[in-house]
Structure 1
């Protein structure tokens, strides 16, 4: 039986807008819809981008972001939150204060977006400090890729030999569960590494040849958010989301030459929560 809108779990993405529809809040909303939850968004930035290219980033004002969050928290019972592109320390502070002021105590997924796939920097050093000191430690899960993990640890990528050791270092540093995404590691499989209070666990799928794909990190974290917001535990949320992102990549389409855009119309099985 289909859930009515009032019966649906409500989740929130705090992230940037991507006019190409492949990443950011657009990808998050598509993921939420596909997984059967109602998605809310609070926009942090308006970007001018397409797969493989970012021309401009225009952050919203602190007042605008605060107003978006306050009205959403006042009217909706949000069951989980994810953050994506937060851009500046000012906007990160707004997110933190809004969570505190509205007494929000729900799963928080932090996707530490620092640069685009094409290499454009999306987070300055001041914002990074606040990210590490205040945002990641309060998260339910943070989901860095290899370059982001190296930045968070203050080390060079080339010095990372073991992904599981890297994930353990992140857990020790922030004392909160981490899912280190394995897409940048040279391997036959795309293996992600979860470290939490229970220890370490791997989630693995065969690498897809439909790469580079735009919006994979956004979609993956949005799926985990949707699953946690629907009552699944962390392990099951990641397991289901690994299947979702794998199918999204496998069924992606090449709308821009040499760049794949994820599909959210997943064929082959019912992945709704």
Structure 2
């Protein structure tokens, strides 16, 4: 059971609010949680065109985090885009110092849909430390293949799942589009099949899923319940409008295992 309703997103500010901290806040509030936010970057974009990314200084990011923890009890954090693996590692160190029991959901945004690369291979050697400090990571099929270019996808999944849990988003799958896979507890593999035959494309859908997953964690759901309900919440979001920007609504139907 949750002890409070404060949940934190650490991510970028997307002016279209399709992705980033404003999208996360909308997802949190649709789960009846109060969303707090730390800004890591300001992007110059709309829902179809990415022009520029202005990064926040790492000291400012840490200061934002510390100031929020002075006031609020925070047990679950969702992390989106951050300038580098090195900065992400510093953020994780800070979070664990402030709350050693914190659950962290990382959505590893490596490339924008418009083609902008967020992460290089610099500091790639600290990835193992990063995975071991988070509770679950939520890459899609394109992103997970970019994390370890020298490994096959199967080898990458095996390696990361030995260090943390993985919710592998299936929107970019070639064989079974929309089939997500949850790897948890180092040995369990669970397929999460779509509930609808077709979904519409949306800007920021990956942010929505990871924020919904974080919300479900705070609401006391176990990892399988949280992942399944996040998947189906995202499907509802994807089909909520005909445009690239979706609408959020409170998830009235939830899976209970």
Normalised by the length of structure 1, the TM-score is 0.84
CA contact (8 A) 1:180 1:194 kept: yes
The alpha carbon displacement at 1:102 in A equals 1.4
The alpha carbon displacement at 1:91 in A equals 2.6
CA RMSD, 1 decimal: 2.3
* 2:252 corresponds to: 270
195-204 vs 21-30, greater mean Cα deviation = 195-204
Structure 2 distance, partners of 1:187, 1:202, is: 14
Structure 2 distance, partners of 1:41, 1:117, is: 23
Deviations 1:59-78 (A, max 9, x none): 11122111100011111111
The alpha carbon displacement at 1:262 in A equals 1.9
Structure 2 distance, partners of 1:208, 1:76, is: 40
* 1:49 corresponds to: 45
In structure 2, the CA distance between the partners of 1:178 and 1:78, relative to structure 1 (3 Å rule), is same
User: Higher strand fraction: Structure 1 or Structure 2?
Assistant: 1
In structure 2, the CA distance between the partners of 1:97 and 1:121, relative to structure 1 (3 Å rule), is same
Deviations 1:44-100 (A, max 9, x none): 001111122211101111221111000111111112111100112453243023113
In structure 2, the CA distance between the partners of 1:166 and 1:9, relative to structure 1 (3 Å rule), is farther
* 1:210 corresponds to: 200
Q: Could you tell me which runs of 5 or more consecutive residues in structure 2 were left unpaired when the two chains were aligned.
A: none
CA contact (8 A) 1:149 1:170 kept: no
Are 2:166 and 1:184 aligned? no
* 1:120 corresponds to: 116
CA contact (8 A) 1:27 1:218 kept: yes
Deviations 1:189-234 (A, max 9, x none): 41111112241001111453422x1001100000000110121111
Are 2:221 and 1:232 aligned? yes
Q: Could you tell me which runs of 5 or more consecutive residues in structure 1 were left unpaired when the two chains were aligned.
A: 1-6, 255-259
* 2:158 corresponds to: 169
Q: What is the count of residue pairs matched by the alignment?
A: 251
Residues 93-104 of structure 1 correspond to what in structure 2 (within 5 A)? 93-104=89-100
In structure 2, the CA distance between the partners of 1:111 and 1:121, relative to structure 1 (3 Å rule), is same
CA contact (8 A) 2:75 2:99 kept: no
Normalised by the length of structure 2, the TM-score is 0.89
